């Protein structure tokens, strides 16, 4: 007897199709992300290397300050400067999705920009992240976040800030700041900061 004429077979096929549909929806949900930080950083690295941007950098570690002005020669050099911001991609892990409170459409009176905020309700590496934008979140003006790490050897927390401008209708990083501190077992805490201003001719 043909399977399509068999009532049990029809029910089985219907359930199989429904399960496949639900699985597809679930996979799509897991693949979605809060914000493509990794892609944004990669795009900035390529852009800044291509235009041969000049970096004005000031780094402070434990009270000692060093200043430099130079042109990172390629994408590898810019990756060394900006790779720390890729850590924020941790927010997009599917396992973390239900741990964040997401608020969009917030108004920031100091900048007149709209803010989308992510706040962790449990201890996570990315404790918070705020994206400031004007008309589209795809063209951010500023991203700030708090990133924390802890293990049996040390505790570390840092505030990360990236600021952007629209140059030739492209989102371009124009400055960044990394500030924080680290406490190692049996040692004093050390504070650090890195400030970079990017010059594009």
| pLDDT the model gives residue 189 | 85
How does pLDDT run across 25-38, given as a tens digit for each residue?
Answer: 333 333 447 999 99
The domain total for the chain is: 2
Of the listed ranges 88-92, 151-155, 170-174, the one predicted with least confidence: 151-155
Would the pLDDT of 62 be above 90? Answer: no
Nearest to 129 by CA among 167, 189, 98, 87: 87
Would the pLDDT of 21 be above 60? Answer: no
β-bridge partners, 160 = 145, 178
Nearest to 157 by CA among 137, 179, 136: 179
How large is the average pLDDT for residues 36-44?
96
Asked if 45 contacts 78 with a C-beta cutoff of 8 angstroms, the reply is yes
Please indicate, yes or no, whether residues 42 and 6 belong to a single structural domain of this protein.
no
Task: Look up the domain containing 166 and give its range.
Answer: 34-199
Please indicate, yes or no, whether residues 103 and 50 belong to a single structural domain of this protein.
yes
| Phi then psi dihedrals of residue 152, to 5 deg | -70, -15
Q: How far apart are CA 162 and CA 69, in angstroms?
A: 19
- Report pTM: 0.80
Asked if 134 contacts 113 with a C-beta cutoff of 8 angstroms, the reply is yes
Please indicate, yes or no, whether residues 49 and 26 belong to a single structural domain of this protein.
no
Q: Which two tokens stand for residue 74?
A: 């390629």
Please indicate, yes or no, whether residues 28 and 70 belong to a single structural domain of this protein.
no
């Amino acid at each position: 007897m043909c399977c399509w004429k068999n009532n049990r077979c029809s029910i089985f096929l219907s359930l199989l199709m429904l399960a496949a549909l639900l699985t597809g929806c679930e996979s799509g949900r897991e693949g979605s992300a809060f914000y493509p930080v990794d892609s944004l950083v990669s795009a900035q690295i390529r852009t800044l290397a291509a235009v041969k941007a000049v970096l004005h950098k000031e780094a402070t570690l434990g009270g000692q300050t060093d200043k430099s002005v130079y042109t990172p020669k390629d994408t590898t050099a810019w990756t060394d400067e900006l790779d720390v911001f890729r850590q924020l991609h941790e927010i997009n892990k599917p396992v973390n999705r239900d741990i964040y409170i997401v608020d969009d459409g917030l108004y920031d009176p100091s900048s007149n920009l709209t803010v989308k905020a992510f706040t962790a309700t449990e201890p996570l590496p990315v404790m918070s992240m705020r994206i400031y934008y004007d008309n589209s979140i795809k063209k951010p003006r500023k991203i700030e976040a708090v990133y924390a790490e802890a293990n049996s050897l040390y505790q570390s927390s840092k505030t990360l800030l990236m600021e952007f401008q629209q140059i030739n209708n492209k989102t371009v990083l124009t400055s960044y700041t990394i500030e924080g501190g680290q406490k190692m077992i049996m040692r004093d805490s050390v504070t650090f900061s890195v400030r970079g201003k990017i010059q594009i001719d």
